[in-house]
Chain A
């Protein structure tokens, strides 16, 4: 029993020895990272793990080493799993540490605007040098007149459809209007090739087609003032009525419970003939199901009585204003936004990330897969959820509560149009009461 022999060494079996050792360990654990951090010059760049592996690899193997070679600053490209970025950014902003530069998407720049540096100078410079920004880029990045993030791309949501099955019902070109699509869908469902558009609680594939549908009928949830709830309108009623018959006569019942993975799975297992999605279906089909890829095409959303619309799901990059290395982060973001770097990074994912600078409208990457070109053209009439209202806290709450999605879903499940619109209005008025 060493502990009882009075040994002078660090004897962990005695109480005193154990406590000494634990104390030294705790001090070491506390000081170690700080000492290490003080020596190396580095920036942490938080990014959601990409669906396209080569995209992350390009940052890890090409861009980050190139920047370190050029400036001596190491870029720690920290990947977070899909869906976890809002939680991760919340933690970082609440604790004031964890990353210097971050990816944002959707409404995050508006939720975290007070924790993001003004990067207007970098954004304006990039716009001047690279053909100017799309209007929708400003919509997604400018908060109270300041660019809080640098828009990187949109991940568009467009129509993915089976050319062979559409041809069987006499449709060679994708329908131009929702009504024409409905007619094609009825025939396709009768031939056991139904449509599948998400009406459940996913992250994006539901909003991706329901907001454009609402807009194309002239409906909106809130006025451009960001306060006045206008969901109860004849235009909304027409959109809801259309959605109900579109669901009933063209779709699988199961779409009411779908999340974002469901339509990819259904399309690639040949259960559905048409859905609304990002480029991921064709990407996976080309890799794993080449026979399906041959008969898959992508097209812009159909038009409604008030026009054609698409969703803006912008990805951007911003700098936390509590970063101890603001200037280094600024320099990195400026470097990253330069055409030399951006062009390569975009190309590493073909066109899965659609650039929001007009300078890339005719870039060679669009020729790699011409079926992706509609994703570029859709940028001209893409908007953030809630448009024409400016994004704010209330809009984020409406989206988190699936108010618009569930308005359509309840109607599709059988509820009356008036009832679902009234329910949505009650919810929205309660949400926007504080606006």
Chain B
């Protein structure tokens, strides 16, 4: 195919000049590849290589600072027999599903609200991005204080309305700890959904709403039959990104709970880190990290197929 294309293109070209380095560099095809090469190499070095190396590690018994020996799927079998691994799997799915749904619903509501006309609209839109802009570690430390039993503004409020002292133990109770990290992840990810969906909303032609209004559509019907179908591709793309980021979340849990209490908030990324770096078992850690991969591939494939059909 490429040979034929080249022949066709070549037929339309003027006769070639004698080759020289400067002429060669100035050619469109050469220059464009030279410009593309750095990002491609960058991706191959920083994404492709670590990924392939991760697969290789997961198939080895590879203690840190020691040479590895090939063990096939033994590390994956070890995960299978590890009760914490299954707890981590359940935690990660619950965390991702809950946070993604909350971000999607909340983000859509936020986008619809931001699409209205009100004073200082642009300033409010800019401020909305703050949770997304502030470094995660920094905002998580702030949350640490918000959830602290002694200094918690939440507990201060709850005690003021009659909840017995000292109020809920947000990070000491396994259920509340999971709820807390879901809420913080939602708070942090909401602007990403909100702003992206707002951009989508602004591309919806006003004539469609006018036509729907003339046809007697209610506000809900305009949303259901005009807004939502037109936003659907954007919602899918944003969800795809969000699921990937949430599934592989690390910083929030590492700073706030380190997987505690009793592994109630341990996720794939934090558990893989503990095994690889804490226990020095790079092969086992890689196998835990790669356990995320099949679920993500399935999700990406399903969404891609859905989008193409759309």
B274 touches A401 (CB 8 A): yes
Q: Are A257 and B82 in contact (CB under 8 A)?
A: no
Q: Are A393 and B173 in contact (CB under 8 A)?
A: no
* A interface residues (Cβ-Cβ under 8 A, vs B): 15-16, 19, 86-87, 90, 93-94, 111-112, 114-115, 199-202, 252-259, 265-266, 269, 271, 393, 396-397, 399-402, 406, 409-410, 413, 423, 426-427, 430
B128-179 interface with A by 8 A CB criterion: 148-151, 166, 169-174, 177
Partner of B172, one of A112, A115, A254, A430: A254
- A15 B26 Cβ-Cβ under 8 A: yes
Contact B275 A256 (CB under 8 A): no
Q: A266-B150, A269-B150 are in contact. Are A393 and B281 (CB under 8 A)?
A: yes
Residue of B82, B171, B172 with most chain A CB atoms under a 10 A cut-off: B172
A202 and B274 alpha carbons, distance in the complex (Å): 12
Check B258 for interface membership: any CB of A closer than 8 A. yes
- The answer to whether A114 and B172 touch across the interface, beta carbons within 8 angstroms, is no
| Pairwise interchain contact A252-B149, C-beta atoms closer than 8 A | yes
Bound complex: CA A367 to CA B154 (Å): 45
- Which residues of the partner chain A approach B281 to less than 8 Å between Cβ atoms? 393, 396-397
A90 touches B149 (CB 8 A): no
Task: Label chain A's interface by main secondary structure.
Answer: helix
Contact B65 A94 (CB under 8 A): yes
**Docked CA distance A199–B31 (Å):** 60
- Asked if B65 contacts A90 (CB within 8 A), the reply is yes
Residue numbers of B with Cβ under 8 A of A are: 22, 25-26, 31, 34, 63-66, 78, 81-84, 148-151, 166, 169-174, 177, 257-263, 274-275, 277-281, 284
**B84 surroundings in chain A (CB, below 8 A):** 401, 427
Do B65 and A257 touch (CB < 8 A)? no
- Point out the residues of chain A lying under 8 angstroms from B173, CB to CB: 253, 256-257
A400 touches B275 (CB 8 A): yes
CB-based contact B279/A401 at 8 Å: yes
Q: Report whether B26 and A16 are in contact in the complex, using a CB–CB cutoff of 8 Å.
A: yes
Contacts of B148 in A (CB 8 A): 265
**Which residues does chain A contribute within 8 Å of B170, judged by CB atoms?**
257
- Distance between Cα atoms of A111 and B66 in the complex (Å): 9
Given contact pairs A200-B260, A409-B261, A430 touches B81 in the complex (Cβ within 8 A): yes
Asked whether, in the complex, the Cβ of B64 is within 8 Å of the Cβ of A200, the reply is no
- Kindly list chain A residues whose C-beta atoms are within 8 Å of the C-beta of B278: 86, 396, 399-400
> Which one of B64, B258, B262 contacts A410 once the chains associate, using CB atoms below 8 Å?
B262
Bound Cα distance from A194 to B164, whole angstroms: 16
Contact B26 A93 (CB under 8 A): no
Q: A266 contacts which chain B residues (CB < 8 A)? A: 150
- Pick the residue among A201, A399, A401, A427 that contacts B258 (CB under 8 A): A201
- Asked if B169 and A257 sit within 8 Å, CB to CB, the answer is yes
Q: Report whether B25 and A114 are in contact in the complex, using a CB–CB cutoff of 8 Å.
A: no
Interface pairs (22), CB distance under 8 Å: A16-B22, A16-B26, A19-B25, A115-B65, A200-B171, A200-B172, A200-B257, A200-B258, A201-B259, A202-B258, A253-B166, A254-B169, A257-B169, A259-B260, A269-B150, A393-B63, A396-B281, A397-B279, A401-B275, A401-B279, A402-B259, A409-B262
A271 to B166, CA, bound (A): 11
Residue of A nearest to B275 (CB): A400
Q: How far apart are the CA atoms of A397 and B61 in the complex, in Å? A: 14
- The residues of A that contact B64 with a CB separation of less than 8 Å are 90, 93-94, 111-112
Asked if A413 contacts B26 (CB within 8 A), the reply is: no
Give chain A residues whose Cβ lies under 8 Å from the Cβ of B166. Answer: 252-254
Chain B residue at smallest Cβ distance from A320: B65
Known: A87-B277, A254-B171, A393-B279. A423 touches B83 (CB 8 A): yes
Given contacts A90-B280, A252-B166, contact A400 B274 (CB under 8 A): yes
Contact B31 A15 (CB under 8 A): yes
Known interface pairs A16-B22, A202-B258, A259-B260; A427-B83 also in contact (CB < 8 Å): yes
Q: Which residue of A lies closest to B63 (CB)?
A: A393
Residue of A nearest to B273 (CB): A87
Q: A257-B169, A393-B63 are in contact. Are A406 and B83 (CB under 8 A)?
A: no
A155–B81 alpha-carbon span in the complex (Å): 36
Q: Which residue of B lies closest to A261 (CB)?
A: B144
- Bound complex: CA A410 to CA B64 (Å): 31
Shortest Cβ-Cβ A-B pairs, 5 listed: A400-B278, A257-B171, A201-B260, A257-B172, A201-B258
Residues of B within 8 A of A255 (CB): 172
Name A114's contact: one of B66, B169, B262, B279 (CB within 8 Å): B66
A400, B279: Cβ atoms closer than 8 Å? yes
| Chain B residues with CB under 8 A of A87 | 277
Known: A15-B26, A90-B280, A256-B169. A200 touches B261 (CB 8 A): yes
